[in-house]
Structure 1
Amino acid sequence: MKPLRYILLTVAALTFIYPFVWMVSASLSSEAGLGSLTLLPIGASIQNYMTVFERIPLGRAFLNSLFVAVFTTGLVLLSGAMVGYALARMTFRGRDAIFYLIIFTMTLPFQITLIPNYITMVKLGWVDSYLALIVPFALNSLSVLLFRQAFAGLPQALIDAARIDGANELRIIFQILIPNILPTVLTITILTFMGLWNEALWPLIVIRDEATMTMPQLVTLFSVGGRADGQLGVKIAAAVLLALPIIILYLFFQKHFIRSMASSGMKD
């Protein structure tokens, strides 16, 4: 059975990895060689990548995306930890109702809240600003759920001992409890960062100033807006550049990511 299992896993792995390998190969191929599905570039050159950097300010967009993703991920960790702790360890009227309401919001597609959120950004005067990219994502229902479940699984004696030593609630959360749930923290960090990095729809709606555009937004506009002049190889090169940071992130943290996903299961 083991040989069959390895064969099936190998076939599955190749099925998933082949499109990306072809994409990299195609980005290095000449326009005439894109019709081939070979894994080696035809007429290999970096001209497609040079064209991308010549036509759009990709470096500035990369820094914008990095700033928004890192800063918002920090806010998600901060807000999720505090709300999750309150729902797991504090007793107050309506606590369970709030928790179930948060769970309910996870079932709603983002498109449902798109127009109300946009109107809010317009009323606040945040259109074409980093605030429009950060504030709507600063509290994440999934992070609240994972933090709540992780905190609920820790022994109450840990919190009682910290209170006896005079620690306040914030110190209990960030100095006592957080170090004991690092797999959960890492899971939330990776999932949040990846989601924010790949977000293109919301920036397309609230950002029109090219200097503030994120990388997914700029690559999308580049691909469909005409700057690529219909050159498929150039579009593919832009897509490779967009995916590259996430791939590098995963290569560095894959062991931690797999371990954290396995160890941060739901607890009653």
Structure 2
Amino acid sequence: MNRGQHILRGIVLALGAFVFLFPFYYMIIGSLQASPDPSLGGAFPNPANLTLDNYAAINSRIGLVQGLVNSGIFAGGVILCTVVFGVLVGYALAQLQWRGRGVTFALALLVQVVPFQLLMIPLYVLIARDYGLADNYLGMILPFAINSTAVIIFRQYFLQVPRELFDAARIDGAGELKLLWNIALPLVRPALLTVVLLTFIGPWNEFLWPFLVTKEASLQPLAVSLANYLSTVAASAANPFGAILAGACVLAAPAVLIFILFQRHFVSTNIGSGVKG
């Protein structure tokens, strides 16, 4: 590749980065403006018009810290359940011989094509009415506790582990849980990171299910609190546009920070999970 092609590629990549990053930049700038300016010129505001009052205004209405804590509990619970059940089921599908293994794996594949919206009403009746878990963290977490994508990822990684390692350990008297903990898990750490990173985004940004199952404002994740703010009290705020963008910045910040910190792992583990057969 000659110098001209390098320059052209750099220009194209720079333009692409600008197009994708400009909305985030505009969101941050808008959240800091004392007087709203939704025009394109608002992307380059007067420094005298920048303030943190919008963050204070929305925090006084919905409690940004409590919303972040609720979102963290929700996302953390889903990640924990996804990893635990994904490891157990993936290991059973990959390394154990039992009747119905193929049917179980086929069902795991089938579940991925069923939209969650089709199951939402039955799940709400089951969890809220039958189990009495409305306005409860457990009620938010349960529908997402088992992730078929995580099961498939772990299964594919466990299939790459030589069966001879497990056979030798079984001859030495090791049980299946000991095999899983001491041999299998250390060898599939990339799969653990893949599942954690991919699972985090879903529950962190999830709106519809927490909105249905929680009515107490003190238990609602930040995404739900922001939606309630938008539909009820935003119009009465001094700068509703800036306050909404401030809340969006707070909601997006953890996901963006995690992506920046683990960008290399995002790329490498996604490629790795895609090429393993």
TM band (smaller chain): over 0.9
Match of 1:91 in 2: 97
Verify: 1:119 aligned to 2:138, yes or no: no
Aligned partner (choices 7, 12, 18) of residue 11 of structure 2:
7
Aligned partner (choices 68, 74, 83) of residue 62 of structure 1:
68
Alpha-carbon displacement from aligned partner over 1:64-118 (angstroms, at most 9, x marks no partner) = 1112211221111010011011111112222111111111110111111110110
The 2-side partners of 1:3 and 1:170 are apart by: 55
1:215, distance to aligned residue in structure 2 (A)? 1.1
Match of 1:24 in 2: 28
The 1-side partners of 2:14 and 2:75 are apart by: 34
1:47, distance to aligned residue in structure 2 (A)? 1.0
Verify: 1:104 aligned to 2:110, yes or no: yes
1:177, distance to aligned residue in structure 2 (A)? 1.0
Of all paired residues, the percent bearing the same amino acid is 35
Alpha-carbon displacement from aligned partner over 1:157-212 (angstroms, at most 9, x marks no partner) = 12112222322112222221111111111010011111111111100000001111
Q: Give 4+ residue runs of structure 1 displaced > 6 Å after superposition.
A: none
Q: Note the 1:179-198 alignment, pairs <5 A.
A: 179-198=186-205
Q: Which residue identity lines up with residue 105 of structure 1 in the other structure?
A: V
Match of 1:79 in 2: 85
The 1-side partners of 2:224 and 2:265 are apart by: 29
Closer, same or farther in 2 for the Cα pair 1:82/1:228, shift >3 Å? farther
Aligned partner (choices 202, 210, 220) of residue 227 of structure 2:
220
1:256, distance to aligned residue in structure 2 (A)? 2.1
Closer, same or farther in 2 for the Cα pair 1:32/1:140, shift >3 Å? closer
Match of 2:152 in 1: 145
Match of 2:258 in 1: 249
- Consecutive unaligned residues in structure 2, runs of 5 or more: none
Q: Which residue identity lines up with residue 11 of structure 1 in the other structure?
A: L
Q: Which residue identity lines up with residue 251 of structure 1 in the other structure?
A: I
CA contact (8 A) 1:29 1:44 kept: yes
Q: Note the 1:196-235 alignment, pairs <5 A.
A: 196-227=203-234, 229=236, 231-235=240-244
Cα RMSD between the aligned structures? 1.6
**TM-score, with length taken from structure 1:** 0.94
Closer, same or farther in 2 for the Cα pair 1:228/1:218, shift >3 Å? farther
Closer, same or farther in 2 for the Cα pair 1:197/1:96, shift >3 Å? same
Alpha-carbon displacement from aligned partner over 1:116-161 (angstroms, at most 9, x marks no partner) = 1101112110111111111111100000010011111111112112
- Equivalent residues, number: 268
CA contact (8 A) 1:152 1:267 kept: no
1:243, distance to aligned residue in structure 2 (A)? 0.4
The 2-side partners of 1:15 and 1:114 are apart by: 36
1:266, distance to aligned residue in structure 2 (A)? 4.4
Counterpart secondary structure, 2:274: coil
CA contact (8 A) 1:22 1:37 kept: no
Deviates more, 1:160-169 or 1:94-103: 160-169
Closer, same or farther in 2 for the Cα pair 1:205/1:224, shift >3 Å? same
1:227, distance to aligned residue in structure 2 (A)? 4.0
The 2-side partners of 1:192 and 1:228 are apart by: 34
The 1-side partners of 2:135 and 2:269 are apart by: 36
Match of 2:50 in 1: 44
CA contact (8 A) 1:48 1:233 kept: yes
Match of 2:38 in 1: 34
Counterpart secondary structure, 2:44: coil
